[in-house]
Amino acid sequence: MNSLNKNQLKNVSYPKQSIDWLTRLIGFDTVSRHSNLALIEDVQGYCEHLGLTVDLTFNEAKNKANLFVTVPSGENADKVDNGLVLSGHTDVVPVDGQEWSSDPFNAAIRGDKLYGRGACDMKGFIACALTLLPQAVQLSNSGQLRRPLHLALSFDEEVGCLGAPLILADLKARGITPDYCIVGEPTNMAMVVAHKGIAVYRCRVHGKSAHSSLTAQGVNAISYASRLIGYVDTLAEEISCREDNDALFDVPYSTLSVGTIHGGTATNIVPNLCEFTFDYRNLPHMTQDDILAPIQAKVAELSAQMRARAPETGIELMQEESVPAMTDNDSAELQALIAALTGDDDRHKVAYATEGGQFTNAGIPTIICGPGSIEQAHKADEYVELSEMARCDEFLQKLLTSCTLK
């Protein structure tokens, strides 16, 4: 575990406890391909020292875990079927190939910023939430906490939001239905009330090889892939012009985008295989069927053309990832609470996806609000401004106060 050099802190005003926690969290290399258990066990020990009961859910390999912990209501210590969830993911993206000015897993303060992998995405919010827990426990023990406060830490958000569904399934099995959730992704502490969903597809086109001088004897997988890609691009243009697009989103329409393509072995060989991937980022009121049904129809049309020439050919379409959109349909009460606490009534909608959609799908009204800017996420020299951490501390303090007895 790392610690900041005292010289880095000289003449710097910063929220000490949350920065100390952030430094501690950054010191755990929780890149998604690695285990997050060391971080989870550290947080578990901290929570248990506060007298809290920690629930863990594991992935199949048992090398990653989610953590869920509740500070119970002071009115009724056994009542945990409501309350407010503070949610964050513990995994971070890789640093491979990036040029960092300092060790990405050793937090460094330069000027008014703290640098390190996960500083804004999203260990900064987790650090502030952990800093809040002791005060929440004191309020619970004194009988002043009228609404339970939950903390949910997940694994593998960055590779498809794989951990949060296990938390939600466990809560459902235990009969726990929180009133609200705040996902602390970086928003510069602005209130994000909705985001798009993501569906990622892989398309595998099976052709038939032949010498390039005898093209009639083959079926060109790249050529048929290009026809399907052209159709995807045409469909993307069509959905961008729909009348029901939402101007509150930073990109006000659903998008389709081809991301990778691989095919062929040599210029003089008709290729027998081509693969490409594309993603669909849908507005909350649209579904995957809005693009999947027409694409499947095009796949069937092209496959029939190919099989008329060689029966062993055709096109496979496989879904590799699916993250639901986050809707603002049921969060008006939560939005009003956040606006009252922050004094900022602005609502934002964003194109990127989070675990928020999984919470809203589970019937839990959710907003996104956290320190730092999404523009710094996933980059070399990722940072969070110290002032953002202070703003998050202040926000969570007000949120906790709203959960106390009047």
**Active site (catalytic) residues:** 91, 157
Dig out the tokens for 113 from the structure.
């910023």
E strand residue ranges, 207-355: 210-211, 255-263, 269-270, 273-282, 314-323, 348-350
Q: Quickly count: other Cβ atoms within 10 Å of residue 340's Cβ.
A: 12
Q: Is residue 366 a contact partner of residue 356, using CB atoms and an 8 Å limit?
A: yes
E strand residue ranges, 72-220: 84-89, 108-110, 113-115, 149-154, 180-183, 192-195, 197-206, 210-211
- List Cβ neighbours of 239 (8 Å cut-off, separation of 6 or more): 253, 254, 255, 256, 286, 290, 291
Angle at 72 between CA 71 and CA 75, to 5 degrees: 140
Question: Quick one: which of 112, 183, 193 has its CA closest to 154?
Answer: 183
Dig out the tokens for 350 from the structure.
């964003």
> What are the Cα distances from residue 159, in Å, to 60, 120, 323, 355?
16, 17, 10, 11
Strand 180-183 and strand 149-154: the pairing is unpaired
Collapsing DSSP to helix, strand or coil, 208 comes out as strand
Collapsing DSSP to helix, strand or coil, 258 comes out as strand
Sign of CA dihedral 206, 295, 355, 191: positive
Q: Is residue 196 a contact partner of residue 325, using CB atoms and an 8 Å limit?
A: yes
Q: Quickly count: other Cβ atoms within 10 Å of residue 55's Cβ.
A: 17
Question: Quick one: which of 314, 338, 319 has its CA closest to 225?
Answer: 314
Strand 314-323 and strand 197-206: the pairing is antiparallel
